[in-house]
Amino acid sequence: MNEIIYTEDELKGLSDKEILALLAESWGFEDGKIELWGELPALGESIYGFIEHPYSTRNDERLYYPLKRLERGICKIYVAPQDATRLGSKSKSRFVRFEVELSPESERIKHKNPFRLSVKRGTGENLRSLPKEMPQDILVNPNLNSERNQFISKSIYDFYYEKAMGDMDKEIKQRKGEIEAQIVEKESELLQLNENGIAELKQTEEQRDVVKNLLYKLNAQKEELEIINEKLSQDKQLRLNEIKSLTRRFDQIEAEMNNKIQRLKSYVADKAQFLKTFEFVDEDDIDLFLNQSKPLIERVNGLSFNEHLNGDFQKAVSYIHAHLVDMEYMYPRHIVENYLTLLRTKDLIILAGDSGSGKTNLVKSFAKAVGGKSIIIPVKPNWTSSEDLLGYYNPLEKKYLATPFLEALIEAQQNPEIPYFICLDEMNLARVEYYFADFLSLLETRDDEPEISLYAESESAHVLSELKAVVDIIQSTKDKYSEHRVVNFIELLKDEQLNSQLRLAFGFSDKDSLIKYHSEIRRMLSAVMTMPSSIKMPANVHIIGAINIDETTHYLSPKILDRAHIMRFESPLLSDWNEILEEVVDYGFDDVSKPLIFDIQSLGYRANYPKFDPKDPFCELFISLNKEFFHKLGIEFGMRTIRQGLNYLNLLKDVNDDDEIAVNNFLLHKVLPKFTFDGNKQIGAQTKLELVERVFVERLKQLLPNHETYSDIFSSVHTLENVVSDAKANDGIVNFWS
């Protein structure tokens, strides 16, 4: 490997291609393609990671950046969120093989390292086998543990297992040999003493005891070694038995996965032609039930976020903004930044504003801009439970009565590569906590896809039982209906013998209608086949609410506000259109007619919120504000809200690294909407309203020194001043929504 070490001055002025070529030459990659392997530590709550201790795939040699300032220093390689999630683990280290590319120039400048690398998107894969000669620093890594075999490939697990067993056997043999050597040595000493005059030794009782004690200790050590050896052998066998037991249990669980619905699928597949012939089921229902139907929507053509914009969210905002303006939707850039970031949180977003301010238009136009689909669900004033949102199972008709909202979820599930934006329009016409609370609780599941249970799976077993009974009776006369070329159920019932058999089997009298019974089975079967007993919340779905605040609507309860982000709107007529057009021109895009296509994870995925760290500046700030103001004002403000804020802050940095903007937006989303209380109540020597007006407003002005540059409706300071002004005109009643 070339040992040339470069200085930063020597690399100035070189292109990225030239810098990468120098690095490849230094690391011994003659063809310029740099392929490495290394360890990806446990991610924890982070959505990205860093490869530590990279090694060359050519010779398994440890690699370091050939930079004078970093000579033999730590060499880390950045892993983007989509690759980190695919390759890594929250709690375990993983070994990964990958190609590299130079990190963005801003990152290399920031870290003063022209050679700084990132994992090339999509090239990473978990290491299938380790080198025959493992590097010493891998073997002594304290992060390795015995549970690694559950997460890495079998070859790597076997490698460590065999090595551990070998080391254990080697240690046992070594200890046994040492003790046996001591025994031989002492026996030799005794023989020597015997040759020199054992008779004299026997005369000294004390010396004899010493010899006995020595022999006793040596024999005890030998027995101890044998016990240890036996225990290690038993432990080894126990571990092998545990592995076999787990393997058998896994096979058993996998076999048990064939539940009632799957047995019904198997039966329908086997009897498909029969069921269609005798009109028990339609061909479309069979195709849908057996997962043979094609996606309902074709993915539109457009620019790729990863390929054309290199996964750069700032460029993505610029392109989407320009695309919206091209479609004559005049939103300021900061709305696109904020909305995209909120979508990526996968939390509930509530758009609040006057009628005609562009709330549902944002949902529709943004969906088109990213090649997705928007579905607007009007909320009715009479919605009082989750059944109004998701539907319910009707035991009389033996079918599930779905709602447009549930149908939208199922459609999204059938088109997993297309982003869906489901908007509950005027969601506060009814009390949100009545019809939406259960569903909102499901959305709180962050580390897995929440599952929505619709009805009991046993219903499918009932349908299968009745269907099989009818089919068996009909098939028992197969020769007859084949001979007479019977092609449908009506013709079949003309056969008196079969008609009598069916009536006898089901206890029907002459007054009962077999045609009606046939219709009931057909309806029941169609209901089970077209509506699953449960569905998982599709990863490609974003839930948005749109609300107006007037005398006909309900306020949002603290439970809803605690779990949602409130994004306020103003009429597009109040925006500075010339400023928007100038922004778009500065982006420099030649053609913005096509939508920007994201992969589903780039538009947000469900992950646990960042951990609460009391020393984090954002946490410290809002802990302080809570003690000084929120708690005294009776505003519910908990740790989850701060963790939501940390998540929003981290995601907003991808489009805007201004922390002041992030704090301003967080106050508007999560804090000020909770300002509904009687400002006349005393807090010490002052009222709540006086505390807000005299202290809190001034604190925000110090916290946000650039607040005057924000437009009024998107400034937390201006919004709070308006709340105070309205409260004074309303007998001291503070209400953010008035």
Phi-psi category of residue 426: left, alpha or beta, with phi > 0 → left and psi -120 to 50 → alpha: left
Reported confidence tier of residue 580, pLDDT bands at 50, 70, 90:
confident
Distance CA 692, CA 512 (A): 75
Which helix (DSSP H) or strand (DSSP E) does residue 566 occupy? strand 564-568
Phi, psi at 452, each rounded to 5°: -105, 115
Q: What is the CATH class of 322-454+534-603?
A: alpha beta
Which helix (DSSP H) or strand (DSSP E) does residue 596 occupy? strand 596-597
Distance CA 230, CA 227 (A): 5
Two structure tokens written together for 94: 């993983």
Q: Give the tens place of pLDDT for each residue, 104-130.
A: 988 888 888 998 999 999 899 988 766
Query: Which are the contacts of 597, defined by CB distance < 8 A and separation ≥ 6?
Result: 299, 300, 302, 303, 304, 305, 370, 371
Distance CA 333, CA 339 (A): 10
Q: Residue 150 forms beta bridges with which residues?
A: none
Res 600 pLDDT > 90: yes
Q: Give the tens place of pLDDT for each residue, 374-394.
A: 999 999 999 999 999 999 888
Please tell me the predicted confidence (pLDDT) of residue 100.
Answer: 94
Res 476 pLDDT > 80: no
Res 511 pLDDT > 70: no
Distance CA 166, CA 733 (A): 76
For residue 486, the 8-state DSSP code is -
**Sequence spans of domains, the chain:** 8-148, 155-256, 261-294+457-530, 322-454+534-603, 617-735
Q: Give the tens place of pLDDT for each residue, 439-463.
A: 888 888 887 778 887 876 555 556 6
Two structure tokens written together for 270: 């086997």
Distance CA 203, CA 31 (A): 84
Q: Give the tens place of pLDDT for each residue, 141-151.
A: 544 443 333 33
Res 245 pLDDT > 80: no
Mind giving me the DSSP string for 277-345?
HTTSS-HHHHHHHTT-SPPSSPPPP-EEHHHHSTT-HHHHHHHHHHHHHHTT----HHHHHHHHHHHHH
CA dihedral 585, 589, 591, 595 (to 10 degrees): -100
Please tell me the predicted confidence (pLDDT) of residue 209.
Answer: 73
Q: Give the tens place of pLDDT for each residue, 40-64.
A: 999 888 888 999 889 998 888 899 8
Average pLDDT estimate for 569-594: 84
Res 286 pLDDT > 60: yes
Please tell me the predicted confidence (pLDDT) of residue 226.
Answer: 79
Two structure tokens written together for 520: 């009931």
Reported confidence tier of residue 3, pLDDT bands at 50, 70, 90:
low
Please tell me the predicted confidence (pLDDT) of residue 257.
Answer: 44
For residue 436, the 8-state DSSP code is T
